[in-house]
Structure 1
């Protein structure tokens, strides 16, 4: 016996355009009945959640909240639309470090992945040939992600102050329409690598005229470096990327000066690329969480292979290890800069500090109230011998990414603010800004906020239960028996 069956392709070729991809995504959401109906009772003049930052972390957190029926939210970002995050500003790599296959902020939706977005436009053959994701193409993907998830975002709007009380958090923003006051029951700080600080400037450079140097986090006029001698300080990807930019802009000579005796070659963090670390790190003891982060910091994270080749293919590039800058002195008013290093002296025209970021509350005056009350890691635990580590200034966060009070009772509103930025790494691992773990972090954050809002509104939900009177049975579906006969 045979039956006729329709021809089914062995493999799904996938959508042939973004329109087809978006239709598939819409179908996925429809089949899953997402997003669900709002269930949080509204409060006059108050958001359920305000999200500071509309880059990858903010967008992922917003969509995770909508997946659980929390839609009274708003995102605020100081950057213009399409320039959120580092991708079009201080990030200068050609491609991302992360493998192209990582699902990133897709939150479990295959049709929301970078791969789906890429194949819909360029096809499967192009995907197979792609080695790494080009940096600006990742920004294009995030712009599309924002469009299809459609969160309410106010761009060109910077947070200027934040405080709280027993009922919520009060925020002030400066934007195109002037000063704006916002109240929210919960706040998510999804403000990136420098969210609780900024660029780390070694003490030596704080007294050197700024015409001679810039931090890699700042705008750099690379065209002005053509024909000049440039020193780049640092050992990581940022140092290599900035050195490459200077070389490609026509610098006569670029020195990459590395304090370490050897350039890092192994990315130890890749050894933690599994669900156990992503989902379980925050449950480790203080000692183990610090030790894990400190070990990776001490061993160093190397630049990607292709990034280093981008520099070394230039004959006018020189890398010197075990080369700490000990002094810098200008040679005349319009002269050059003389550097004394542990390996001798060199004269350069410009220096780029690829010295990374630090949790530095002084650089974030808008967060002064958090800084005044928040429990820090140094208040709870410091790895022996690491008292001067930057990690000591990281906030000691609770299980829901929430800030905790240094002195209980002084600022109970702190627990309403969640750090979904780099400063959470010591408490929660790399689930707040890195592509591999961003979905898991956002879903855990959304689940926590869901539980908190439900608990706070228990009386409302209890009364709603008592008041529910919609019958399943109308009374005409059966006939009551007279007795046991």
Structure 2
């Protein structure tokens, strides 16, 4: 197992990174065939509007925006609620040392080696450091994305939230928390795992404890607050162990991690799906197979990251309790009192590593479409006939990640909205929206959906535009003009 390795200070790293950036720009220029702008501009209230707005400028939004630019769609805008350089999870609430994907992951590079994570890492840390790791450290991944953003050179606005999305047959209107509105032709939601709802803290915790005594594992909070405290963590997945290690390294007196199941999951099934067959074609599976696959994955306890699993176990003040659901949570004399089949625990702080809920209505930017979009429950009845499963609330997307109308003709313009976050998982067969491993195949497909829509939008202008073309490919000399009888 290869885990953390020391990176010696390297005074030449910045020079090598600058040279790599120059190489990447040169490679992009060398491959610029068919990248010039071709989309005819659209006006709204006398102003040219963006052709595509991408909500979210983390890794998915960046790679999609760059792909569109490379396909000649440069009139785009990316919006992100976080400050510049802190888009996504990597330096906000993620606490894992390494990203979970193998270091050989590709996709953001668009097939150009100089844009790859390997090229960046070697330039930053050296070939020996690259050879020594199995996965890229989280902070390095974020620094790579910052470097990538500079190379991609996309129009990005940080520090803004989209609070409403309205749509009609001619376009989409976004309302921002700044009071501004932005009119655009198409919108992509690239808002990550929580993009279709919110991280969920179970009711027994929320109802019993004061707010200051608990956090969700995917919240931004200062782990140093846990110094000297007895901490209880509910859950046994990757984020549970990430939170356990963060608390232990911050000086928690004791950390107890609890899981309902009797056996911890040790399988990393996601890696088994990382094949050209599955990643490229999972969206074409039948609804029945997609549903069965979703049922299987829901019932499978995903293995925690190996480095944090072993790191947690290395602390003498860490204890893992399996077969220990929280039957009761109470608040007594400043303590969280948790009753489980394996005992009663008094805790100073609780962390819920309990995943995300799907509920379009609780996200301001999705509320309007929650009643208009075709959902899985509108098209599919589970084999057991149980229509209460939460996955039925997911939108039923077309093959291009696009929303569809629940009632034909009742919500014109909803097909202008593309979903490239966790809401796409069921329709796309699993990984091709939120996983880094899905970018190589998912990004080109959603980009093709957008460029197809933009191109067909201007079909009626194709011939008139060609008729107006009057730039000759040959500059005639006076002699040639005379020979051709063009002097009259």
Give the TM-score, by structure 2 length: 0.90
CA gap of 1:365–1:125, structure 2 versus 1, over 3 A, is: same
1:365 to partner: Cα distance: 2.0
Alpha-carbon distance in structure 2 between the residues aligned to 1:51 and 1:130: 33
Structure 1: gaps (5+ residues): 1-13, 481-485
Give the superposition deviation at 1:222. Answer: 2.2
Judged with a 3 Å threshold, the aligned counterparts in structure 2 of structure 1 residues 183 and 157 are, in CA distance, closer, same or farther, namely same
For residue 67 of structure 1, what is the aligned residue in structure 2? Answer: 70
Alpha-carbon distance in structure 2 between the residues aligned to 1:413 and 1:148: 33
Contact 1:269–1:296 (8 Å) recurs in 2: no
Question: Which residue in the other structure is 1:40 paired with?
Answer: 39
1:91 deviation in Å? Answer: 0.6
Aligned to 1:262: 263
| 2:377 alignment partner in structure 1 | 378
Secondary structure in 2 matching 1:412: coil
Counterpart position of 1:122: 125
User: What is the CA–CA distance in structure 2 between the aligned matches of 1:85 and 1:218, rounded to whole Å?
Assistant: 12
Q: CA deviation at 1:476?
A: 5.6
Structure 2 distance, partners of 1:120, 1:224, is 37
User: 4+ runs of 1 displaced by more than 4 Å?
Assistant: 469-477
Contact (CA 8 Å) 1:29, 1:35: kept in 2 or not? no
* Partner residue in 1 for 2:355: 356
> 1:412 is matched with which residue?
412
Task: Using the TM superposition, give the Cα deviation of residue 344 of structure 1 relative to its aligned residue in structure 2, in angstroms.
Answer: 2.6
Output the CA distance in 2 between the equivalents of 1:262 and 1:437.
29
User: Counterpart of 1:193?
Assistant: 193
- Which residue does the alignment assign to 1:393? 393
2:107–2:441 contact (8 Å) kept in structure 1: no
Q: How far off its partner does 1:390 sit?
A: 2.7
Which range is displaced more, 252-261 or 15-24? 15-24
Q: Aligned residue for 2:366?
A: 367
Choose which of 58, 72, 89 in structure 2 pairs with 1:86. Answer: 89
Q: Provide the aligned length of Structure 1 versus Structure 2.
A: 462
Whether the 8 Å CA contact 1:16–1:123 is kept in 2: the answer is no
Residues 126-151 of structure 1: CA distance to partner in whole angstroms, max 9, x if unpaired? 21122321111111110110011010
How much does 1:287 deviate? 0.9
- Contact between 1:255 and 1:320, CA under 8 Å: does it hold in 2? yes
Change in 2 beyond 3 A, CA 1:433/1:34: farther
- State the match for 1:483 in structure 2: none
Number of the residue aligned with 1:11: none
Q: Could you tell me which of 138, 142, 145 is aligned with 1:142?
A: 145
Q: Which residue of the partner structure matches residue 317 of structure 2?
A: 316
Change (3 A) 1:388 1:90: farther
Q: Distance in 1 between matches of 2:383 and 2:244?
A: 36
**Partner Cα distance (1:413, 1:231) in 2:** 47
SS in 2 for 1:69: coil
Show the counterpart of 1:438: 439
Structure 1 residue 290 displacement after superposition: 1.6
Q: 8 Å contact 1:267–1:300 — kept in the other structure?
A: no
Shift of 1:22: 1.6
Residue pair 1:25, 1:112 contacting (<8 A) in 2 also: yes
Alpha-carbon distance between aligned partners in 2 of 1:18 and 1:382, rounded to the nearest angstrom? 53
Q: In the TM superposition, what whole-angstrom CA distance separates every residue of 1:137-185 from its partner, at most 9, and x where no partner exists? A: 11111011001101000000110111011100000112xxx32111111
**1:54 touches 1:190 (CA, 8 Å); kept in 2?**
yes
Instruction: Please give the secondary structure, in 1, of the residue aligned with 2:344.
Output: strand
**1:210 and 2:222 matched:** no
Contact 1:49 1:73 in 2 (8 A): yes
- Quote the residue 1:426 is aligned against: 426
Q: 1:87-136 CA deviation, whole Å, 9 max, x = no partner?
A: 11111011111111112411111111111111122221221122321111
TM-aligned CA deviation for residue 438 of structure 1? 1.1
Inter-partner Cα distance in structure 2 for 1:383 and 1:345: 39
Q: Using the TM superposition, give the Cα deviation of residue 452 of structure 1 relative to its aligned residue in structure 2, in angstroms.
A: 0.7
The aligned runs of 1:241-280 (5 Å cut-off) are 241-280=242-281
Is 1:290 paired with 2:255?
Answer: no
Could you tell me how far 1:245 is from its partner in structure 2?
0.9
Deviation per CA, 1:234-259, whole angstroms, max 9, x where unpaired?
11000000011111111121111001
Work out whether residues 161 and 171 of structure 1, in 8 Å CA contact, stay in contact via their aligned partners in 2.
yes
The answer on 1:50 being equivalent to 2:53 is yes
Q: CA deviation at 1:471?
A: 4.9
Deviations for 1:312-369, whole angstroms, at most 9, x for unmatched residues?
A: 000111111111101111113xx21111113232211111000011212232022111
Question: In 2, Cα distance between the equivalents of 1:143 and 1:338?
Answer: 43
| Change in 2 beyond 3 A, CA 1:252/1:69 | same
SS in 2 for 1:17: helix
Aligned match of 2:5: none
How far did 1:64 drift? 0.7
Aligned pair in 2 of structure 1 residues 32, 257: CA closer, same or farther (>3 Å)?
same
Q: What is the rounded CA distance, in whole Å, between the counterparts of 1:202 and 1:249 in structure 2?
A: 25
